[in-house]
Amino acid sequence: MVDFIGIGRVRELVARRGAARFMAELAAEIEADFRRWDAFEKSARHASHSPLGVIELMPASDGRLYSFKYVNGHPKNTAEGLLTVTAFGVLADVQSGYPLLLSELTLTTALRTAATSALAARHMARPKSRVMALIGNGAQSEFQALAFHELLGVRELRLYDVDSAATAKLERNLTRLHLPGLRMQRCADAAHAAQGADIVTTVTADKRNATILTAPMIAPGMHLNAVGGDCPGKTELHRDILARADVRVVVEFEPQSRMEGEIQQMPADFPVTELAALLRGAAVGRVSAAEVTVFDSVGFALEDFSALRYLRRIHHEEPGARPAIDLVPDLDDPKDLFALLAAPLRARGVAA
């Protein structure tokens, strides 16, 4: 039998752990795996693009465990009452090849994306950054708000979305959480939201080269958490921001980010630093209070590997139902797979 974690169990695990603890522990798992970067077999995700979206497979392995995630991104889905992003994943034992866990990753991807954003910001944003602009108030926005509030101490959110209903939804959800000391302010446009912010998070969904932020909106010392540009032809930052002399850009996995991130707009030799180098102490995230830092986040398979391993661990630590599924046959004779069909076929023959 293979462990199974569905939506209900993830909700239960977050509730039992508490959102703050869950986020902190997940960020710690991700950091620990990035610190052993060289132990992993890494590749850019395999993407199948269509006019309306993308379906991707994201594998990673450390030689002992193997994981993959299936994930889609279809921005037009919401018009039909469907999610923009859905995902599931598998964690397997390399030695036997047997799957250990089949898990939902729709909720978990949102959690791990926000945890990774906050983890990077710890090393890149100015100390005591307390004001964050949150541009794009859709499905990922609450997770980003929660992670930055709990893990970085953000106390003021400046909100903007072209859809005012999305902002109202975000305000409503965060108000219900009663997060201590958190203030929210609606803004008229992206420029207004960015004004006075220490951190600017962009998390928009349109599959196009958008210009959410332009160079005049960027003040010295800002940290930009660019989350929405995550496939070829999809960006959020004007290239002039990246071309600034005082900009430092960090990516997750450079070969993938060159194709999919904000840096797809830049020459092939445009200098970037990988997140692993930051977390291992081989590079710094910021050299001065005036430097502009950019986390060009597209999501990388190693983060899903960490999330799946973390989910499986707490699935066994926390009480509650621990469902499993018969995904792999259990045989008396491993060379006799047909035995699984022989008995029912014989029974059918007798009945006939």
Domain residues for the domain of 260 are 113-299
User: What local confidence, expressed as pLDDT, does residue 96 receive?
Assistant: 97
What tokens appear for 88 in the block? 């599931």
Q: What is the C-alpha to C-alpha distance for residues 37 and 67, in angstroms, rounded to an integer? A: 15
CATH of the domain at 159: 3.40.50.720
Assigned domain for 94 exists: yes
The answer on 100 and 240 residing in a single domain is no
How far apart, in Å, do the first and last CA atoms of the chain sit? 33
CA distances from 297 to 9, 26, 253, 254 (A): 28, 17, 9, 11
301-334 pLDDT tens trace: 999 999 999 999 999 999 998 999 999 999 999 9
253-306 pLDDT, tens digit each: 999 999 999 999 999 999 999 999 999 999 999 999 999 999 999 999 999 999
Number of domains the chain is built from:
2
In a domain, 92, yes or no: yes
The C-alpha atoms of residue 223 and residue 121 are separated, in whole angstroms, by 7
| Annotated catalytic residue, options 198, 230, 296, 304 | 230
The mean pLDDT of the chain is 95
Q: Are residues 133 and 206 in the same domain?
A: yes
Give percent above pLDDT 90 in the chain. Answer: 89
Reduced to 3 states (helix: H, G, I; strand: E, B; else coil), residue 63 is: coil
Same domain, 16 and 81: yes
Do 272 and 317 lie in one domain? The reply is: no
Whether residues 58 and 174 share a domain: the answer is no
Both 74 and 98 in one domain: the answer is yes
Closest CA to 113 of 90, 73, 91, 144: 144
Q: List helix spans (H) across the chain.
A: 7-17, 19-35, 106-124, 141-152, 164-177, 190-194, 239-242, 254-260, 275-279, 301-317, 339-351
Q: What is the predicted pLDDT for the residue at 343? A: 80
Res. 351: pLDDT tops 70: no
* DSSP structural state of residue 285: S
Residue 138: pLDDT over 80:
yes
CATH of the domain at 327: 3.30.1780.10
Of 198, 222, 225, nearest to 113 (Cα)? 225
The per-residue pLDDT for 179 is: 94
In-domain check, residue 209: yes
Q: Which of 283, 299, 315 is the last residue of a domain?
A: 299
For 188, counting Cβ atoms within 10 Å of its Cβ (0-12 exposed, 13-18 middle, 19+ buried), the class is exposed
Verify whether residue 230 is a known catalytic residue: yes
Residue of higher predicted confidence among 352 and 21: 21
Do 182 and 64 belong together in one domain? Answer: no
Residue 154 has pLDDT above 80, yes or no: yes
**Mean of the pLDDT values across residues 40-68?**
95
Angle between the N-to-C axes of helices 106-124 and 301-317, in degrees from 0 to 180, rounded to the nearest 10: 110
Average pLDDT over residues 4-23: 96
Residues 133 and 248 in one domain: yes
Q: What is the pLDDT of residue 118?
A: 98
Closest CA to 301 of 15, 58, 12: 58
Asked whether residue 24 falls in the same domain as residue 65, the answer is: yes
Calpha distance 233→223 (Å, rounded): 23
φ, ψ of residue 287 in degrees (nearest 5): -110, -15
Answer whether residue 57 is part of any domain: yes
**How far is Cα 145 from Cα 151, in angstroms, rounded to an integer?**
10
Residue 232 has pLDDT above 90, yes or no: no
Mind listing the pLDDT tens digit for each residue in 172-210? Answer: 999 999 999 999 999 999 999 999 999 999 999 776 778
pLDDT tier at 220 (50, 70, 90 boundaries)?
A: very high
Q: Is residue 352 over pLDDT 70?
A: no
pLDDT over threshold 80, residue 213: yes
Residue 207 is predicted with a pLDDT of 66
Q: With respect to residue 346, please indicate whether it lies within any of the assigned structural domains.
A: no
Tell me the whole-structure pTM to 2 decimals: 0.94
